[in-house]
A and B are shown apart, each in its own frame.
Chain A
Amino acid sequence: MLDTTQIQLIESDVESARITLYNLSDELVDHICCAIEDQMRNGKSFDEAYALLKEQTGIKVLQSIQENTLYLTDKKYRLMKTTMKITGNVALALLGMGTVMKIFHWPGAGPALVLGFALLCLFFFPAVVYINHREGKSKGGPIMNFSILVGGVGLMAGILFKVMHWPGASMLLLGGWFFILFIFLPTLLYAKLKDAKSGFEKRVYVLGVVALIIFELATMFKMMHWPGAGPLMILGSLLLVAVFLPLYTNMRFKNVELKTGQFIYLITISMYAVVLTALLAMNVSKDILGCFVRSQDNGTAINHYFEQKERILAASNTVKDSVVMMNAEKIKHVSEETAKVKNEIQNLKLNLVQEIEQVDKQTALAAISESVKISKKDNYDIIDHILFDQNGNGLANSLKGKLDTYRELILKLTTSNKELSESISRILDTSSKKNYNTMVSWEEDNFKHNPLISTLALLTALEKNVSMVESSTIQYINQ
């Protein structure tokens, strides 16, 4: 026969498994009591008998009884569970596909992401919240369920809107964050505190929730481009990973509840969280590449002008005159050398665009003159591969060599005009530079890790400079 305190102990344990189903908790308590009484009749003490029973049937087993009962008796629950499984899988498959397509610049990323997010928001998420509610796992009651539902759906929809550049993203995100930060997380903390068995556990939970709030705030600040995101993010991730994670592991470790599988999940997800947050913090929006599109197109227009001018110059040079004759030789030489350098630059541009975009020559030429059309504007690793070979030579280096020879040639022709030659040596300068206390060569400074679109803009600007030098030189010779 068990006394009242023993029964109360069992009752509180069953309660902690959150058995809410009608009659079921009474039944389970009675069942456990009977089993213990049986053992005690065989000469075991209450503690021994209960410990043995707990080993065989922990909280998880009690919960699974409730889950199975619900599954058998509740049609709606069964429906929700099926919904959760199917939409969860389909949504994730779609999201995964969308991500892959977005990263590889394949078409169709948009619809896949939209559909995936829609499934997630409209079906999967509500189903999970419902199931958690029915299983009595969310202890904060209706407030918590409601806030996580609204907040979560708001956040996901907001991210989708943001990714798709739809209007209203900020409102959704802010609304979602409001619910999560100010309603869900405090209720979660409250529920966890009610649950906690010791003061230590309480402190760990408070810490965890505070860290989460700070981290979420930081993400919000970052996405809304508000100042102060950086320090918040540092503080939040420090608290989460460096303080909360060890304490939490230690706590769970003592209770022997943590399976290695769950721990692997915990660590892997923290690693991802840290690294993705860091990568995001180091990045800027892709819109900024538009700046290079403008530079590139501006440069192309100017280069086009110089080309036409040259053509006319070449045509008019047929007039013969003794002084002009002598100068004409020089001018011809300059023009030829300039053309060589410009050809080199143009071929390099063509080569880069063809290699990276995997298109034919015609398409590449069109893309260079209208650079919005380039799809892989931000690619830089193929460029690095093309411009630099393993020995640090490669095309960037040979371009530098060509520019150097050209500069020396022009400087020889313009020595008598000091101002001009100085200007020329400045604008065609290819010497190494001091960058953060280390010497960096001209080609590394300009071309290393440089995305396609800005490399093109840079090469076009170089071409323009060469044209300007040629123009000034010819003018000087003609005087």
Chain B
Amino acid sequence: MKKSIYYLGIACANLMLFGSLFKIQHWPGASVMLVLAVFLFCFVFLPMALINSYNEGGQKYKALHAVTFFVFFISMMGVIFKVQHWPGAGMFLPFGITLPFILFLPVYLYQTRNEKNKETMNFSAIMFGLTFLAVFSVLLALNVSKSIILKIGTSLRMSSEASAFNMATINVTDKQNPILEESDKLCVYIEGLKDHLLIASDNTVDGKASLDITQMANMENSNIPVHILLGDDSNNKMEELKSKINSYRESVLASEKISPELSELSSTIFDVSDKDTEDGKMTWEQRTFGAYQLIVVLDALTQIQSNVRLVESELLAVK
């Protein structure tokens, strides 16, 4: 009986481990292992081990055994719902993380309050276990799923598509308009920055920069963008970019045929000044590039290009 409990427990922990590893590596079979691990734990290991512990001299702690089962059953179920994105994960996990604190801990303390022997070690073990759980849960709460990066990719793609649309449909009546050249200059400059970033981050095909979201490497890297845009040998690229956007905005606003609405829009979307926010003063680059992850920087740069193309197209459409 006891031996099989040991085997089961170790099997559960290992299934969980390999399931997680497979999941992180996107190898097939991860879900099966994770689901199996949790179901084995919840429906076989936990009841068996608790019954064994109860018969082993735990009769005094009836409530503790019941509560342990309930709490860790819910908790582990919450985990599997969350990992598998099953409906109800949002409900399950908060309860799974809070129950050990609001139910298990009080019952444990209450039931063992008169237990003088060997209490220190067990008490500290439980304390550290739960502290660990709290710390990791909080860290987890500060995080979002990595799949969000793909959504930034979507946003980037839509910006490029919008640029392409505006360039294709632009109706040039006034070929002499200086905005045409200005827009091209700014967009080409930004394109150069993007290529620089992509090459530095190993995103190349046949030696040329390639922006393919599905194949992208180093998406979360922030060292490369910081080095290129802000580093000592970056020749002040960020300031250069800002001054280019600034002068572009000035020439758009100085344009003769600009409507008041368009001038309002241009001053908003090409505003590179510092701003006061709830978190204190924030510079344009802080607002725009955040923590400088590669994908975020590329998205922001593409968005500027798209904005330029939009304003250009709107400006030239005015008869």
Touching in the complex, A and B, CB below 8 A?
A: yes
Asked if A301 is at the interface (CB within 8 A of a chain B CB), the reply is yes
Instruction: Give the distance in Å from the alpha carbon of A287 to the alpha carbon of B134 in the complex.
Output: 21
Asked if B244 is at the interface (CB within 8 A of a chain A CB), the reply is no
For B152, give its contact among A85, A92, A266, A291 (CB under 8 Å). A291
| Prevailing SS type, chain A contact patch | helix
Question: Is B49 a contact of A163 with CB atoms below 8 Å?
Answer: no
Chain B interface size, under 10 / 10 to 19 / 20 to 34 / 35 or more? 35 or more
Q: Which residues in chain B, 152-179, are within 8 Å of chain A measured between CB atoms?
A: 152, 154-155, 158-159, 161-162, 164-166, 168-169, 171
**Contacting chain B: which of A182-190, A340-348, A464-472?**
A464-472
Asked if A385 is at the interface (CB within 8 A of a chain B CB), the reply is yes
Question: Is A282 a contact of B146 with CB atoms below 8 Å?
Answer: yes
Question: Is B162 a contact of A461 with CB atoms below 8 Å?
Answer: yes
Instruction: Give the distance in Å from the alpha carbon of A307 to the alpha carbon of B70 in the complex.
Output: 56
Contact with A along B65-104 (1 / 0, CB 8 A): 0001000100010010011010111100110011011100
Given contact pairs A282-B23, A471-B314, A89 touches B132 in the complex (Cβ within 8 A): no
Question: Is A103 a contact of B290 with CB atoms below 8 Å?
Answer: no
Contact with B along A414-434 (1 / 0, CB 8 A): 000001101110110000000
Asked if B62 is at the interface (CB within 8 A of a chain A CB), the reply is no
For A61, give its contact among B37, B117, B136, B300 (CB under 8 Å). B117
Instruction: Give the distance in Å from the alpha carbon of A277 to the alpha carbon of B21 in the complex.
Output: 10
For A64, give its contact among B118, B124, B140, B152 (CB under 8 Å). B118
Question: Is A241 a contact of B14 with CB atoms below 8 Å?
Answer: yes
Q: Which residues in chain B, 1-43, are within 8 Å of chain A measured between CB atoms?
A: 2-3, 5-6, 9-10, 12-14, 16-18, 20-21, 23-24, 37, 41
Contacts of A273 in B (CB 8 A): 132
Contact with B along A252-293 (1 / 0, CB 8 A): 010000011111111111111111111111111111111110
Instruction: Give the distance in Å from the alpha carbon of A253 to the alpha carbon of B7 in the complex.
Output: 11
Closest A residue by C-beta to B265: A305
Question: Is B138 a contact of A163 with CB atoms below 8 Å?
Answer: yes
Instruction: Give the distance in Å from the alpha carbon of A112 to the alpha carbon of B80 in the complex.
Output: 28
Closest B residue by C-beta to A464: B162
Question: Is B76 a contact of A271 with CB atoms below 8 Å?
Answer: yes
Contacts of B18 in A (CB 8 A): 242
The 4 A-B pairs of least Cβ separation, nearest first, read A96-B101, A278-B20, A283-B143, A260-B53
B residues at A contact (CB < 8 Å): 2-3, 5-6, 9-10, 12-14, 16-18, 20-21, 23-24, 37, 41, 45-46, 49-50, 52-53, 56, 58, 68, 72, 76, 79, 82-83, 85, 87-90, 93-94, 97-98, 100-102, 105, 109, 116-118, 120-127, 129-149, 151-152, 154-155, 158-159, 161-162, 164-166, 168-169, 171, 214, 220, 222, 259, 261-262, 264-265, 268-269, 277-278, 287-288, 290-291, 293, 296, 299-300, 303, 307, 310, 314, 317
17 A–B pairs (Cβ distance < 8 Å), ordered by A: A84-B123, A102-B137, A249-B6, A260-B2, A260-B56, A271-B37, A276-B133, A282-B24, A284-B144, A288-B290, A289-B144, A309-B259, A381-B87, A451-B144, A454-B148, A454-B152, A472-B169
A residues at B contact (CB < 8 Å): 60-61, 63-64, 67-68, 81, 84-85, 88-89, 92-93, 95-100, 102-104, 113, 116, 120, 124, 128, 131-132, 135, 137, 156, 159, 162-163, 225, 230, 234, 237-238, 241-242, 245-246, 249-250, 253, 259-292, 294-295, 298, 301-302, 304-305, 308-309, 312, 372, 378-379, 381-382, 384-385, 419-420, 422-424, 426-427, 435, 445-446, 449-451, 454, 457-458, 461-462, 464-465, 468-469, 471-472, 475, 479
